[in-house]
Chain A
Amino acid sequence: MIHSLFLVNASGDIFLEKHWKSVVSRSVCDYFFEALERATEPENVPPVIPTPHHYLINVLRHRIYFVAVIQSEVPPLFVIEFLHRVVDTFQDYFGVCTEAAIKDNVVVVYELLEEMLDNGFPLATESNILKELIKPPTILRTVVNTITGSTNVGEQLPTGQLSVVPWRRTGVKYTNNEAYFDVIEEIDAIIDKSGSTITAEIQGVIDACVKLTGMPDLTLSFMNPRLLDDVSFHPCVRFKRWEAERILSFIPPDGNFRLLSYHVSSQNLVAIPVYVKHNISFREGSSQGRFELTLGPKQTMGKAVESVLVSSQLPRGVLNANLNPSQGTYTFDPVTKLLSWDVGKINPQKLPSLKGSMSLQAGASKPDENPTINIQFKIQQLAISGLKVNRLDMYGEKYKPFKGIKYMTKAGKFQYFDRIHILFKCFFYYLLPI
């Protein structure tokens, strides 16, 4: 399975290596660097690279390449999924997954990698188990450890490892028992110039933060479970129960986790909450171009559209942009040609707009594409699919937890040549009857 792992930073240096079997020389990465050079964009490096004796499978996250060295046949997704799990674990432990964070915590990183794989086969990947084996570094713990000489490493096999609920550690205790659920939805839509939707899909997740004492058994039911077309669960969810009753019944892991991700099919009509009017034109032979963009709310069910952020990749010929926003601030990076406009909240009475001129490279031919426009925003208290949680109940423990559900629609929007791609997310927050 996984033979070795190399971590490569954005400038192409190997800054960490780990071997699970005999040592593989780091020169094997030369094949990777070749591919990296050939690729025009960092994302364009092919995930699977064959070399004469090995196979390299890499993932790119947080501008770090995680390059796994494989020697024989293995499902590539197995390796890819594992590498992503490694990144998630680092993020979980260090808050961020950057080169600096990894270098600062190299010992913990090594201990983690040692526990996560044995002979190249995943051993423990559940965050709850790992945290019992190796405690995440905190300033307080570092201080305590230096004084008392205690260690970050657990001495007992985590109970979860052997139990039927390996994702939850035992002996969890909290003074405030809380459970929060964020329903986050994204719309991915393609809209043509006239504003009509070519395709729209809703992709949602329910992220949970559960801090409950003991072994709580939770059930979460929906008002309209039929909306969920295709779902994938955290292993804690009892599949039979969902099949039979469309109820999520589970013993949650401790802490943050993704309970569910779902897909609302494109067959259902999706109301796009925001519209864009744009007019970007260049004239042949002139070194000036016009830029005009207006945003407006649409079908938001009376909810405010907040934290709007517009970004656009302008054509390469554009030297600079001189624009005038009716609200918010904008920046233009002449190197990457990225225009970003922080709009803030949309006021339906006074629609935000960004107008002005662009200066073009002298002598360059007229750029013929319409630039890509990407819009992000939040709508609180609205799950765009209309998904509603009915109730959340707890069994198995006697205390009364504090429960909260938050809904959010988040959007990212791109214009694709003469059309627009949209991703939405929205938040919604209310308390359930306890």
Chain B
Amino acid sequence: MLGMSANSVSYNEQSSVESGVDAAQENSSIPASSSGGLFSADYKKNEDLKEMLESSKESLKLEAMKRIVGLIAKGKNASELFPAVVKNVASKNIELKKLVYVYLVRYAEEQQDLALLSISTFQRALKDPNQLIRASALRVLSSIRVPIIVPIMMLSIKEASTDLSPYVRKTAAHAIQKLYSLDPDQKEHLIEVIEKLLKDKSTLVAGSVVMAFEEVCPDRIDLIHKNYRKLCNLLVDVEEWGQVVIIHMLTRYARTQFVSPWREDAVFDENSEKAFYDSEEERRVEQSKPYIMDPDHRLLLRNTKPLLQSRNTAVVMAVSQLYWHLAPTHELSIITKSLVRLLRSHREVQYIVLQNIATMSIQRKGMFEPFMKSFYVRSTDATHIKTLKLEILTNLANEANISTILREFQTYVKSQDKAFAAATIQAIGRCATNISEVTDTCLNGLVLLLSNRDETVVAESVVVIKKLLQTQPSQHSDIIKHMAKLFDNITVSMARASILWLMGEYCEHVPKIAPDVLRKMAKTFTSEEDIVKLQTVNLAAKLYLTNSKQTKLLTQYILNLGKYDQSYDIRDRTRFIRQLIVPNEKSGALSKYARRILMAPKPAPVLQSAFKDRDRFQLGTLSHSLNSQANGYLELSDWPAVAPDQSVRIVEVVKEAGAPVFGKSKPGKSDEKFYSDSEEEEEEEEEGSSSEDSSSSSSEESESESESEENSDDSNKSSSSQSDSEKKKKTLKNKKLQQQKPDILNITYLPTQIIQKALLLIIRTKFFLMHIVLSFSNQFVASCRCSLLCLYVFLVCQFDTISWDVRVSLQASSPVFVPETSRELLHRMTGKGLSAQYRFTRQPCIYGNSMVSLQLTLSNSSDQALENIHISEKSSTGQNIHRFNAIERLEPQASVTVSMGVDFNDSTQAANFQLCTKEDEFSVSIQPAVGELLLPITMSEADFTKEQSKLVGMNESSATITMTPENVSSQSVNRKVVSVANLGVIPSSQENIHRFAGKTVSSGCLVLVSVALKDPDAVITINTENTVMASMLLRQFKTALTNSGP
């Protein structure tokens, strides 16, 4: 007992010392000797937090976590609680869990081993049905900066990037940057994810993925091409922060892809910089052919313009800089108002905006001149704001407005803020040099200021006058005299030095006064500042050369004083001057030139804006604001002389839905089928294990979509040049295979995950795999990676024969057959020249899951252009219609293809709507054939029979027909059925039974069709819950199969 208590005491002591050390490190101001009681109390506090965390009561735990978060917020160290906190990571209480997350993200880096305990919880949460939980799990997982989990992060990001929820995908985009900063070696894989996410159509994702792009691979401009137009079009709907990032990225992009719009309208402000003007002119000579703006360039300018009205100042600034860097000069003026509006915002916003205006106003005064009054300084402005406004006013000054500006400046000089008053005097000096008409006025004004009571004002005036006088000294000897008189009263060294310099430089204009000033200086030399001493030495030397009779002795006296001065500079200067001007035996050839050296005419200083060179940085950036290159600043490239290929941006979204998909959709091309299927399965393998049926089907959808996007080019031409398109197809496949390689390699990085996946696959596959598992596990011991790779490839190759579990059976596949026939929607006679045709594309609709995708071809057969063709907002029947974007103008004899979506709600009721042009409205209606209300799906034969056995009785309808002889072949049966209805063909082991499967578009209910041939009869069986549809389908199949002909 005694021993135990002693133990515990010593333990406590030890730990209290430890905590004392901790605390002392944390707050070194507390003397270490006073540890003991104070710190042990502190330690106790943490101890009771630990107890609270370990209690069973949720509320106590929560309270403890709240206090811990309080500690973190104060910057106190709470890392010793890590083990106690991490236990609660799986808590059901969402607030508690969130606070634990906060804690984990803060300390995981320090406690990497313990942090690993929490990983499995996140992995589980990544599969939670609640998207918020999935997203926050990914957020925390990716925020834990523990290098060991890089592979897990990579995998999670890949999975999340195909998640159904755009919110999760957005989180994945953020996680990309986190992983990249943790392990830059993952760059290649991350770029793949970025590429995938860039294709995402959700506005939520766009900003985040572009951010990731900017961080990870800003140089991969090729990834943007295909997404450029989409980004431009989405921009208005993207959240405001994303807008800023996208606009900055697009600015850089546009500078590499388009030619300069500036050359045609090189008519600049007459005041603009000369050099700039010249270069423009050169360019104009070089390129004489007329400039036509790339439509994509125009698209960007047009789509960003409304954002100038944004409430977010960063967005307005981003658009302004985009216009500044990309827009033709005459369009630039639209940004002025918005920028001026921002000046009413917070102080910090004003600061940045004024900096940018200052840079702009140097190049183009005209832009801001009408708003000059907005830059008038207010007494309540902060000093840096005042200085910037002054800068802008000075930049804007010209002959016409200079009197107004000078009047304004006069009031500023009286400001109580002396730094500002001094800056104003400098500004007056700049105006005086820039505008010769007012030089005298300014000079007189400045001379008046010399009698100001405030010393800084006087000093600054002297300095500025000095600079001004250099331009025309001969006319102003009276001013120099006046300044000599003031000399005694001026104490600011810079001003004294300036006067001395003036005396020396223009001693010929004031021959009587200068020696007297030197005499005074000789008296006070030792007590002057260095800068004044230097100028005194200069003055002495200059006077010695011009008027040695009067000043010889004075000069020698001063040189002697300088010789023993404390400052190196002054001793050096004195020695130099003495050798130069005093002739002695040692002095060489140089002293002959002393006069020419010292009295050489000096060029007048150029007073110019501090913002002169800022335009080397992109406006609105941190680098511009600091006037030095910040980390990670991306240079804005110069316009290319010749625009790169424009076609890289072409993505024919409109036709995308109508494009028949290659490969698996075309029967009879078995080699291609092999490839395309395996691709798909690889996809699945990457994602399948975690994402459940819904997400895997979505991933496939997105895959097929992206594929069709890629293929769209070729597919459109396919009818005209079949061989050509096939060639392309092959290269495409090759490309695809190449793309997959890294995936495979990547997966071998992750043994645990792949084992899980492989096993899962094996369990799912039904036959002949058991022995593989056995052999696999043996090999696994030896070299798991190799065997896994083998297994992986093997599985991929064998996939055709593997049957899937029912859960994956409802995947929509691409249509087997897409009819080319179009139906008439509007005849050109009734449509007053406008004719419209529609056809069903049989693709999943991109506008909504329950919509049927339609392709509309509108042609203008009149002799006048039709404007603003659109579908009226009012729909007479209840269907939900996704309208195509209004067509602004359709030229005579031109036609355009657009796509739209209609939710027929699984009924063949016609959709009626109004097709409108600018002048007219035409009522039209689309009546779908029942077969178009389906989407094909793929499933195994076994699944088919299983599902069929569930849909019997009322759900089954069948009919016996007599087949025409030419229809008996299996090919023709297949063709007939799929042409009537959009169904998928199920591989059948029996030759005389053909099976087809599909689902209804709106409700997604299964439709199974089987045709059993019993020569010469055939039995058609349809199993579906939608009996109305079944009977209609049955009727159509009957007619199709009994009729001969194609």
**Binary contact track B610-643/A, C-beta < 8 Å → 1, others 0:** 0000000000111101101011111000000000
Query: Taking A75-B317, A114-B98, A119-B177 as contacts, is the C-beta distance between A44 and B211 under 8 angstroms?
Result: no
Assess whether B167 is in contact with A157, with CB atoms less than 8 Å apart.
yes
B93 within 8 A of A: yes
Contact among A76, A82, A156 with B622 in the assembled complex (CB-CB below 8 Å):
A76
Query: Taking A81-B313, A414-B380 as contacts, is the C-beta distance between A75 and B95 under 8 angstroms?
Result: no
Assess whether A72 is in contact with B75, with CB atoms less than 8 Å apart.
no
Assess whether A162 is in contact with B167, with CB atoms less than 8 Å apart.
yes
**Binary contact track A386-427/B, C-beta < 8 Å → 1, others 0:** 000000000000000000000000000010111101000000
**Binary contact track A153-195/B, C-beta < 8 Å → 1, others 0:** 1111100011010100000000000000000000000100000
Assess whether B174 is in contact with A156, with CB atoms less than 8 Å apart.
no
A292 within 8 A of B: no
Query: Taking A73-B630, A106-B73, A369-B416 as contacts, is the C-beta distance between A190 and B352 under 8 angstroms?
Result: no
Least CB separation from A66: chain B residue: B348
Since A199-B376, A417-B379 are in contact, a sample of 9 more A-B pairs with Cβ atoms closer than 8 Å, ordered by chain A residue number, is A47-B351, A60-B348, A73-B622, A75-B621, A107-B99, A110-B73, A110-B99, A372-B380, A414-B379
Contact among B96, B310, B347, B623 with A60 in the assembled complex (CB-CB below 8 Å):
B347
Instruction: List, in ascending order, chain A residues with CB within 8 A of B416's CB.
Output: 315-316, 369
Task: Assign chain B's interface to a size class.
Answer: 35 or more
Q: List 30 A-B contacts (CB under 8 A).
A: A14-B75, A16-B73, A21-B145, A41-B382, A41-B383, A48-B351, A48-B622, A48-B626, A77-B349, A77-B352, A78-B241, A80-B349, A81-B314, A106-B70, A107-B70, A111-B99, A118-B171, A119-B142, A121-B174, A151-B62, A153-B98, A155-B132, A161-B167, A232-B341, A233-B310, A235-B240, A243-B306, A313-B379, A365-B453, A416-B379
- Compute how far the CA of A417 lies from the CA of B420 in the bound complex, rounded to whole angstroms: 14
Instruction: List, in ascending order, chain A residues with CB within 8 A of B130's CB.
Output: 155-157
B69 within 8 A of A: yes
A127 within 8 A of B: no
B residues 402-429 touching A (CB-CB < 8 Å)? 411, 414-416
A138 within 8 A of B: no
Assess whether A77 is in contact with B132, with CB atoms less than 8 Å apart.
no
B338 within 8 A of A: yes
Instruction: List, in ascending order, chain A residues with CB within 8 A of B106's CB.
Output: 19, 23
Task: Assign chain A's interface to a size class.
Answer: 35 or more
B237 within 8 A of A: yes
- Compute how far the CA of A76 lies from the CA of B248 in the bound complex, rounded to whole angstroms: 13
A34 within 8 A of B: no
Instruction: List, in ascending order, chain B residues with CB within 8 A of A43's CB.
Output: 347, 382
- Compute how far the CA of A345 lies from the CA of B473 in the bound complex, rounded to whole angstroms: 61
Instruction: List, in ascending order, chain A residues with CB within 8 A of B240's CB.
Output: 125, 235
- Compute how far the CA of A372 lies from the CA of B66 in the bound complex, rounded to whole angstroms: 49
Contact among A15, A123, A231 with B309 in the assembled complex (CB-CB below 8 Å):
A231
Assess whether A161 is in contact with B204, with CB atoms less than 8 Å apart.
yes
Least CB separation from B110: chain A residue: A23
Assess whether B237 is in contact with A162, with CB atoms less than 8 Å apart.
no
Instruction: List, in ascending order, chain B residues with CB within 8 A of A107's CB.
Output: 66, 69-70, 99
- Compute how far the CA of A50 lies from the CA of B623 in the bound complex, rounded to whole angstroms: 10
Query: What are the 9 closest A-B residue pairs judged by CB atoms, nearest first?
Result: A72-B632, A151-B95, A199-B373, A157-B132, A47-B348, A43-B382, A122-B241, A153-B95, A77-B314
B994 within 8 A of A: no
Least CB separation from B377: chain A residue: A416
- Compute how far the CA of A71 lies from the CA of B622 in the bound complex, rounded to whole angstroms: 11
- Compute how far the CA of A394 lies from the CA of B107 in the bound complex, rounded to whole angstroms: 51
- Compute how far the CA of A266 lies from the CA of B170 in the bound complex, rounded to whole angstroms: 44
Least CB separation from B177: chain A residue: A119
Instruction: List, in ascending order, chain A residues with CB within 8 A of B631's CB.
Output: 71-73
B274 within 8 A of A: no
Least CB separation from A72: chain B residue: B632
B181 within 8 A of A: yes
B residues 71-95 touching A (CB-CB < 8 Å)? 72-75, 93-95
Instruction: List, in ascending order, chain B residues with CB within 8 A of A261's CB.
Output: 311, 341, 344
Instruction: List, in ascending order, chain A residues with CB within 8 A of B353's CB.
Output: 77
Contact among B95, B174, B374, B414 with A118 in the assembled complex (CB-CB below 8 Å):
B174
**Binary contact track A1-41/B, C-beta < 8 Å → 1, others 0:** 10000000000001111110111001000000000000011
Contact among B94, B139, B211, B373 with A151 in the assembled complex (CB-CB below 8 Å):
B94
Query: Taking A72-B632, A263-B341, A417-B411 as contacts, is the C-beta distance between A77 and B620 under 8 angstroms?
Result: yes
Assess whether B59 is in contact with A229, with CB atoms less than 8 Å apart.
no
Contact among B73, B142, B244, B346 with A84 in the assembled complex (CB-CB below 8 Å):
B346
Instruction: List, in ascending order, chain A residues with CB within 8 A of B167's CB.
Output: 157, 161-162
A201 within 8 A of B: yes
Assess whether A155 is in contact with B414, with CB atoms less than 8 Å apart.
no
A379 within 8 A of B: no
B131 within 8 A of A: yes
Assess whether A48 is in contact with B311, with CB atoms less than 8 Å apart.
no
- Compute how far the CA of A119 lies from the CA of B178 in the bound complex, rounded to whole angstroms: 7
Task: Report the minimal beta-carbon distance from B871 to chain A, rounded to whole angstroms.
Answer: 17
Assess whether A368 is in contact with B414, with CB atoms less than 8 Å apart.
yes
B462 within 8 A of A: no
Query: Taking A18-B73, A118-B171, A232-B311 as contacts, is the C-beta distance between A73 and B378 under 8 angstroms?
Result: no
Least CB separation from A126: chain B residue: B239
B316 within 8 A of A: yes
A residues 218-277 touching B (CB-CB < 8 Å)? 229-235, 239, 243, 258, 261, 263, 266
Task: Report the minimal beta-carbon distance from A412 to chain B, rounded to whole angstroms.
Answer: 9
A46 within 8 A of B: yes
Query: Taking A40-B383, A77-B352 as contacts, is the C-beta distance between A157 and B131 under 8 angstroms?
Result: yes
Instruction: List, in ascending order, chain B residues with CB within 8 A of A417's CB.
Output: 379, 411, 414-415
Assess whether A59 is in contact with B346, with CB atoms less than 8 Å apart.
yes
Instruction: List, in ascending order, chain A residues with CB within 8 A of B139's CB.
Output: 118
Task: Report the minimal beta-carbon distance from A10 to chain B, rounded to whole angstroms.
Answer: 16
A206 within 8 A of B: no
Instruction: List, in ascending order, chain B residues with CB within 8 A of A151's CB.
Output: 62, 93-96
B697 within 8 A of A: no
A70 within 8 A of B: yes
B135 within 8 A of A: yes
**Binary contact track B167-191/A, C-beta < 8 Å → 1, others 0:** 1001100110110010000000000
- Compute how far the CA of A118 lies from the CA of B633 in the bound complex, rounded to whole angstroms: 22
Task: Report the minimal beta-carbon distance from A218 to chain B, rounded to whole angstroms.
Answer: 18
Instruction: List, in ascending order, chain B residues with CB within 8 A of A198's CB.
Output: 373, 376
Task: Report the minimal beta-carbon distance from B391 to chain A, rounded to whole angstroms.
Answer: 15
Least CB separation from B632: chain A residue: A72
Instruction: List, in ascending order, chain B residues with CB within 8 A of A201's CB.
Output: 373-374
Assess whether A230 is in contact with B337, with CB atoms less than 8 Å apart.
yes
B831 within 8 A of A: no
- Compute how far the CA of A89 lies from the CA of B803 in the bound complex, rounded to whole angstroms: 55
Task: Report the minimal beta-carbon distance from B313 to chain A, rounded to whole angstroms.
Answer: 5
Task: Report the minimal beta-carbon distance from B434 to chain A, rounded to whole angstroms.
Answer: 24
- Compute how far the CA of A207 lies from the CA of B455 in the bound complex, rounded to whole angstroms: 49
Instruction: List, in ascending order, chain A residues with CB within 8 A of B96's CB.
Output: 151
Least CB separation from B337: chain A residue: A230
- Compute how far the CA of A154 lies from the CA of B316 in the bound complex, rounded to whole angstroms: 33
Contact among B177, B341, B383 with A44 in the assembled complex (CB-CB below 8 Å):
B383
A149 within 8 A of B: yes
A341 within 8 A of B: no
A335 within 8 A of B: no
Least CB separation from B131: chain A residue: A157
Task: Report the minimal beta-carbon distance from B97 to chain A, rounded to whole angstroms.
Answer: 9
Which has the most chain A C-beta neighbours within 10 Å: B177, B241, B317?
A: B241
Instruction: List, in ascending order, chain B residues with CB within 8 A of A154's CB.
Output: 94, 132
Which has the most chain A C-beta neighbours within 10 Å: B58, B94, B95, B204?
A: B95
B residues 440-485 touching A (CB-CB < 8 Å)? 453
B208 within 8 A of A: yes
A residues 102-143 touching B (CB-CB < 8 Å)? 106-107, 109-111, 114, 118-119, 121-123, 125
Contact among B165, B236, B378, B384 with A421 in the assembled complex (CB-CB below 8 Å):
B378
Instruction: List, in ascending order, chain A residues with CB within 8 A of B181's CB.
Output: 21
A152 within 8 A of B: yes
